[in-house]
Structure 1
């Protein structure tokens, strides 16, 4: 585990230094487009976003950071956060979700991934929720609160000359992996397996994180446009939200591509809602979320049937699971309990995860892992890092894009490839000029 701070104290476990921060949150007039406030020329690792329909939080800089790895990546991050909260002083006159002391975070899908996990406290956070907006500054304890001038700027157009290439597997090879998974499922080894594929993209000029976020949030307003440590995307799936004791989780599984013809799409939505293959896949995902939330809840509500969520490029079967928190768990701890859900792994989890390692031939990194934010009181929002890409830390002109599909007994490899192509559309369009 590595720590980057300016002033520090010893963590609660005696091993990890943490920053002692002075955090000040003040109300401000509506600042307009939050993404336009993010300064230009920042590296992707220092641009943070969690936005939906223009509301949410953006941030930049790094007042404190922890990087973790392995099976303890969630627990190490949680210990660091607990110690940081204890060491920091917070003056928050707004007291809304996302105000005060917050950290943005993302966690690798696999404990074996070198991508590990991270929590980062931005130096500056600007937020809006409904008709209220705020500015938060985080500085080392003992230093004066800085004066921050918010100056909107024009977000540039997409980087020029973007070219795409195959990732770890060609489309034909990936369809072969799907066929193998179907045969294993048919043989009774497992019920469902989620297989992902990647694409590479390279631009002639460095990628601007603000541009990607602007395009994603504008084109896909029903998703959460996120950016954490170079991981950028627009996820439609809320893994878990914890707000004042109420837990909610949106489960997506079962997908069909839109045609652009409204009547045809309505017919396809009705077909999706009746599809036995997609309903079975969805049931696995909902059951896995409900089972893992149950130990943390006094009560839990699971709707009897899903609804169809309409996005610009695809439609999903969706279910919103809700519960009342019974423990002292934080949103990050709940994210750990839910990860990986059947929506990104499969059922049974251990068997599916082993098959993923065998067939994908790639490291997912932080794709399909939890991504979101955490507040001082433990509340927060964590989505699943879907419809996303990871900007290269070595070359800001390069990015890896990811998409995955749930494979069950009735899956057809060619249809799954088409579904994965549809799921790659948001990031491809955000990159293209």
Structure 2
């Protein structure tokens, strides 16, 4: 008997049998083992987990979507039989997840049928199946994705000129005191001559941006530099990014730009809003916290960001997903004050974000896991496999210049554009 694709939030949990065991003779690149473009992935610096299939799945939306997802996961884990020879983060029973930016946007948790994981030089395979139809461990193959071919790009909901006008409108509202900061996003449409095999851009993203978290959940793929929250053995961490400058490719010039970014009052103000929103959201869940007084400059191949790593010691049993729910939406993807910025986004942005800028990541049966923010990403069109929506967003404050923000958004679209290209 096979499992249905989706279990409603209140349905009885399926009884799953889970087995994790060490494997050898595997590729150094986890993405090589993905046999299908319906990939699930969370990889950084070669370590992480990838998966395929759906032993169980929850689709959920609404203002209670995080609570419903956590309740569903608790029921599922309590009913599972798990044999885990490793007991490391990412082994055993694991779900991947991706949540919409707004309450109305779709969200989901997916439990793969097969997971391949790597951590600290050890590689393992996890198989997950219903108790009524146990499956044998798979023989891992190495697969080559189909070529993508030529890609054309077209404006999404707004042209660059129209989006710049929206930024100018937002700056005026900030100057008038309506809001302190608002994050505005834009989309770009990628169109191929043939279906896009998502494994190819995933491989390219992981290779080009090893310090980012390369992710894939239900057609949403990307390489995010921003870790919303990690919970591991009682330690909570969050990497906050806000304040960006484009790299030139000239090392000496880029060092000078990094120094100017670190001194920029506009970018430091934007960053302070983002760090404070994260610290305030995590404080009720931590018995102690370390909030850096000044950010560092994170160097990525295409841009540089002001970054701060916030850390704390867990004070309660909140899961990684529960912490992500408390943090979403942070000032880094919404603005300050949150409610006012969210309403302004709805009023003037002119597009549905879907799962862009929402939490994306994974969680294990103990509640440990990692959730990033779905940035530097694209969403495959479920109706037309030749098309993808690419996304980028910028934090707008009083000192923002519309032309500069448009240039920044173009820089943030580079990772996905390059990953899709020939």
TM-score (norm 2): 0.97
**Counterparts of 2:54 and 2:351, CA distance in 1:** 30
Question: What pairs with 1:295-314 in structure 2 (closer than 5 Å)?
Answer: 295-314=284-303
Runs (4 or more) in structure 1 with deviation over 3 Å come to: 4-11
Q: Once superposed, what is the RMSD of the aligned Cα atoms?
A: 1.5
Residue number in structure 1 paired with 2:13: 18
* Structure 2, gaps ≥5 residues long: none
Question: What pairs with 1:319-338 in structure 2 (closer than 5 Å)?
Answer: 319-338=308-327
Question: What pairs with 1:331-370 in structure 2 (closer than 5 Å)?
Answer: 331-370=320-359
Q: CA deviation at 1:327?
A: 0.8
1:38 counterpart = 2:28: no
1:50 counterpart = 2:39: no
**Counterparts of 1:270 and 1:247, CA distance in 2:** 30
CA deviations 1:358-400 (Å, max 9, x no partner) are 1111100000000000100000000000000100111111100
1:143 counterpart = 2:133: yes
**Counterparts of 2:136 and 2:102, CA distance in 1:** 39
The counterpart of 1:262, out of the listed 216, 237, 251, is 251
Residue number in structure 1 paired with 2:374: 385
The SS at the match of 2:63 is helix
Question: What pairs with 1:91-106 in structure 2 (closer than 5 Å)?
Answer: 91-106=83-98
Residue number in structure 1 paired with 2:3: 5
**Counterparts of 2:365 and 2:130, CA distance in 1:** 17
**Counterparts of 2:7 and 2:301, CA distance in 1:** 48
- For the Cα contact (< 8 Å) 1:8–1:20, is it kept in 2? no
- For the Cα contact (< 8 Å) 2:49–2:115, is it kept in 1? yes
* Structure 1, gaps ≥5 residues long: none
The SS at the match of 2:371 is strand
- For the Cα contact (< 8 Å) 2:5–2:57, is it kept in 1? no
Residue number in structure 2 paired with 1:187: 176
Residue number in structure 2 paired with 1:107: 99
How many residue pairs were aligned? 420
**Counterparts of 1:323 and 1:92, CA distance in 2:** 28
**Counterparts of 1:165 and 1:74, CA distance in 2:** 34
**Counterparts of 1:8 and 1:362, CA distance in 2:** 28
Query: Judging changes above 3 Å, is the alpha-carbon distance between structure 1 residues 176 and 223 closer, same or farther for their aligned structure 2 residues?
Result: same
**Counterparts of 1:301 and 1:294, CA distance in 2:** 10
Query: Judging changes above 3 Å, is the alpha-carbon distance between structure 1 residues 280 and 136 closer, same or farther for their aligned structure 2 residues?
Result: same
Q: CA deviation at 1:155?
A: 3.4
Instruction: Name which of structure 1's ranges 159-168 and 56-65 shifts more when overlaid on structure 2.
Output: 159-168
Q: CA deviation at 1:7?
A: 11
**Counterparts of 2:266 and 2:417, CA distance in 1:** 28
**Counterparts of 2:4 and 2:356, CA distance in 1:** 30
**Counterparts of 2:341 and 2:231, CA distance in 1:** 28
**Counterparts of 1:378 and 1:190, CA distance in 2:** 35
- For the Cα contact (< 8 Å) 2:376–2:416, is it kept in 1? yes
Residue number in structure 2 paired with 1:227: 216
